[in-house]
């Protein structure tokens, strides 16, 4: 069974699993409590104390219900999983590099520490209003989900910040290098021309990017998701010192045939806009997702089912999965 974990702060949804765990435990106890927290706080701080063997979780209850079901309506912020099973803790730490929010695994002896960590609110939890000079660079948000994924570095000198900005600009244009920055468990990226042939060098407008997301890819895209570069510019702005922008949109797999549907888990209304910005000694990279709607228009039934599942996750998480480690890698030190 799953019960409410006593003694947790008001901004934490805490649960303890003991004995046999079923899907009904999630539906009757976990999901209603999480909905209440998200409605109250706008995001989720989640503590799950696993005081039972994984053998006591009914089929699919662990991965399907906890890691997939909750994502349909929760805005992840901090997730602490407490268990004496090392592989559970290791899995929790690993997915922190892939999914929105922060995830940490704790041993049972560190339960109090886990609760304190999950309850600590940090700067940046609430998304700040987008400045007007940035909003002007983005497509209007008219349908579906909007996402925002960011990372930033502070330097000691302004000259250092200029160097970080220039280096990050070069890395952003080097699409084929994105895979190394994302790590082995994230997506793979390859720049191609309009025939689908691999390209080397800097990305340019109208180039395509082939994305290899872990797991099955769409038949329409020959096993890959595809986007096309539609904007590469360094606009002048009075609101900041330096800006560099790249924007991509879901596309059919090249060579593009008349009437072809996007080979991507999102419809072609969606865009991902990379905004690299320098303000004084601070350099930030933000990916703004706009109009993210699951792509279920494909005629191939396997693709339609795949995109419905992946897209419903991606509108709040999977598009961020692609970009989370990338924005950090683009700004990392040598």
**pLDDT tens-digit map of 4-20:** 998 888 889 999 988 88
> 139 with 280, same domain?
yes
Cβ atoms of 29 and 15 closer than 8 Å: yes
Q: Where are the beta strands (DSSP E) in the chain?
A: 2-4, 13-17, 44-50, 76-82, 102-106, 145-154, 188-192, 208-212, 225-233, 242-250, 271-279, 282-292
Which one of 32-41, 64-73, 137-146 scores highest in mean pLDDT? 137-146
Q: Mean pLDDT over residues 138-158, rounded? A: 89
CA 22 to chain centre: 28
Residue 124 lies in a domain: no
Residue 126 lies in a domain: no
Domain boundary among 70, 94, 119: 119
Residue 70 lies in a domain: yes
- Cis status of the peptide bond prior to 255, with omega within 30 of 0: yes
Domain extent for 93: 2-119
Give the pLDDT of residue 222.
Answer: 87
For the chain, the average pLDDT equals 81
Sign of CA dihedral 88, 89, 90, 93: positive
Give the pLDDT of residue 126.
Answer: 41
Residue 263 lies in a domain: yes
Give the pLDDT of residue 189.
Answer: 92
> 309 with 213, same domain?
yes
d(Cα 32, Cα 20) in Å, to the nearest integer? 20
- With pLDDT > 70 as the criterion, what percentage of the chain qualifies? 77
pLDDT greater than 50 at residue 187: yes
> 254 with 176, same domain?
yes
Residues 6+ apart with CB under 8 A from 28: none
Residues 6+ apart with CB under 8 A from 93: 103, 104, 105
- Kindly give the residue spans of alpha helices, DSSP state H, lying in 153-300: 158-173, 178-182
- In this structure, what CATH number is given to the domain that contains residue 179? 3.30.530.20
> 105 with 158, same domain?
no
> 6 with 148, same domain?
no
Mapping DSSP onto H, E and C, the string for 283-308 reads EEEEEEEEEECECCCCCCHHHHHHHH
pTM above 0.75? Answer: no
Give the pLDDT of residue 323.
Answer: 77
Residue 125 lies in a domain: no
pLDDT greater than 60 at residue 71: no
> 170 with 301, same domain?
yes
> 216 with 304, same domain?
yes
d(Cα 212, Cα 195) in Å, to the nearest integer? 18
**Tally of domains in the chain:** 2
Lowest mean pLDDT among 40-49, 91-100, 141-150: 91-100
Of the candidates 240, 334, 232, which has an alpha carbon nearest to the alpha carbon of residue 281? 240
> 318 with 207, same domain?
yes
- What one-character-per-residue DSSP string does 111-122 give? HHHHHHHHH---
Give the pLDDT of residue 103.
Answer: 83
Residue 127 lies in a domain: no
> 136 with 115, same domain?
no
* CB-based burial label for 14 (10 Å; 0-12, 13-18, 19+): buried
**Residue 295 banded pLDDT, cuts 50, 70, 90:** confident
Place of tokens 């986007």: 227
């Amino acid at each position: 069974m799953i019960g409410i974990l006593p003694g947790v702060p008001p901004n934490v949804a805490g649960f303890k699993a003991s004995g046999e765990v079923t899907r009904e435990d999630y539906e009757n106890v976990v999901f209603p409590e999480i909905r209440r927290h998200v409605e109250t706080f706008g995001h989720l701080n989640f503590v799950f104390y696993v005081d039972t063997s994984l053998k006591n979780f009914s089929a699919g209850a662990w991965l399907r219900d906890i890691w997939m079901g909750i994502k349909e309506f929760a805005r992840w912020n901090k997730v602490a999983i407490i268990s004496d099973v090392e592989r559970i803790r290791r899995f929790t730490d690993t997915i922190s590099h892939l999914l929105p929010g922060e995830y940490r695994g704790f041993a049972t002896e560190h339960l109090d520490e886990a609760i304190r960590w999950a309850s600590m609110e940090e700067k940046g939890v609430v998304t700040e209003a987008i400045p007007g000079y940035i909003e002007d660079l983005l497509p209007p948000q008219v349908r579906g989900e909007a996402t925002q994924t960011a990372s930033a570095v502070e330097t000691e000198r302004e000259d250092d910040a200029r160097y970080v900005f220039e280096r990050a600009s070069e890395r952003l244009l080097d699409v084929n290098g994105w895979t190394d920055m994302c790590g082995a468990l994230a997506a793979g990226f390859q720049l191609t021309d309009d025939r689908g042939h691999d390209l080397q060098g800097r990305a340019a407008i109208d180039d395509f990017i082939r994305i290899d997301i872990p797991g099955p890819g769409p038949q329409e895209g020959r096993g890959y998701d595809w986007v096309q570069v539609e904007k590469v510019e360094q606009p002048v702005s009075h609101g900041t010192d330096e800006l560099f922008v790249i924007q991509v949109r879901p596309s059919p797999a090249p060579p593009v045939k008349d009437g072809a549907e996007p080979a991507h888990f999102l419809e072609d209304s969606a865009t991902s806009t990379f905004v690299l910005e320098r303000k004084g000694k601070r350099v930030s990279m933000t990916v703004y997702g706009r109009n993210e709607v699951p792509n279920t228009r494909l005629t191939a039934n396997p693709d339609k089912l795949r995109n419905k599942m992946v897209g419903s996750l991606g509108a709040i998480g999977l598009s961020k999965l692609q970009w989370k480690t990338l924005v950090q890698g683009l700004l990392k030190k040598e």
